[in-house]
Structure 1
Amino acid sequence: MSKQALIVWGGWPGHQPGECAAVIGGMLREEGFEVVTENTTEAFTDPSLRDFSLIVPIVTMSTIEKEEIEGLSEAVRSGVGLAGFHGQMGDSFRNEVKYQFMVGGQWVAHPGNIIDYTVQVTRPDDPIMEGITEFPYHSEQYYMHVDPNNEVLATTTFRGDHCAWIDGHVMPVVWKRRHGEGRVFYSSLGHVAAEFEVPQMRTIMRRGMLWAARG
């Protein structure tokens, strides 16, 4: 029996949630997953949520009902994997600290908006980052509030061009963590669907989802 993955998309349309869901769905099907796609967070209240191997939320901002966040949190704590990218997982449900506690971070700024920056690999020995070295990136450079419990796999260093007081600050870009029995993976790369054409970004996301997936 193939592993099942649930993709839930919605929220702010500027991040192209539908297009990104299609890309993620295709990647997971290539890896042998049976993929279920929903465009409402009501899916998180389904009792069968714990039967999935992986959940990929693709929802920027928006809101979520108490029973929905409870269902998602309990599923991950029971062992279902959670994986996502950019604001589609790192800037979702801003009022829900339970969600942020699970993800391990929350977006707060992207000084300069779309800019050129560099991603530094901090754990080249980790299977998710194997063979990937420092690479340039053109997108929003995410400044985030992050959990010190994260296992950081890649970082970026801010310059003071747009905010002088953060010059030289090193910020996590890719991390993995545990939430109960579940594995959680996050990458801040991936503003829009076209960014999946960057080989390093696509490889990191693919491997991160596979690592997070139960079983």
Structure 2
Amino acid sequence: MDWNTRIRPAGDRAMLITLDDPRPVQRLASALRVHAIAGVEDVLPAAETVLITMHSVNYGTQVRRELISLLDRLDQQPPQPDVSRGTVDENIVEIPVRYDGEDLPEVARLLDLSIPEVIASHTGTVWHCAFVGFAPGFGYLTSPDGRLTVPRRARARTAIPPGAVALAAGYSGVYPRGTPGGWQVIGTTDLRMWVVDRDPPALVRAGSAIRFVASE
């Protein structure tokens, strides 16, 4: 693939890589965290793009060259199977959830599952934060098999309370503050996803592993 057409300048100290699919976005973001490129200041994945910021404009040529090399290597490698499910990882963020969301029955209907099966599926996998956005501390969480893919609500709510645990378009997420939203709410948590004076403020960041745990 001609990666030059996929890598575009975003100002004088950043590059935007368009990949058109969340899976290669996550692979590239993970690879950049493991194999750091000299001159790269930050890696900011989104749904179909990765934004690379640099310490200086002087790194532009070198960073582009190394990005193309890394993308070529990833393109030639088959995706690695997800082995996190069922493993014990001290770095996994556990989020206790009361499965009391008002959209839970509708989610079960859409998936042709019982409510206990939806809960078991939501808690029975390790989710990964693909990227953050929408509001500070809101992580877009993906599961290995996309088993709980449901559409957004036909009509968004004008107010969703902080701590609402929700599903939409293959993602799960936790609302960090009260806000309008169109995701299907399946539960609530008391964990605070964003605290300004915490270090770091966000409980979940891009690359984080998350397990939801059913609570009373």
Name the structure with the higher helix share: 1
User: Which of the two has higher C-alpha Rg?
Assistant: 2
Name the structure with the higher strand share: 1
| TM-score, with structure 2 as normaliser | 0.26
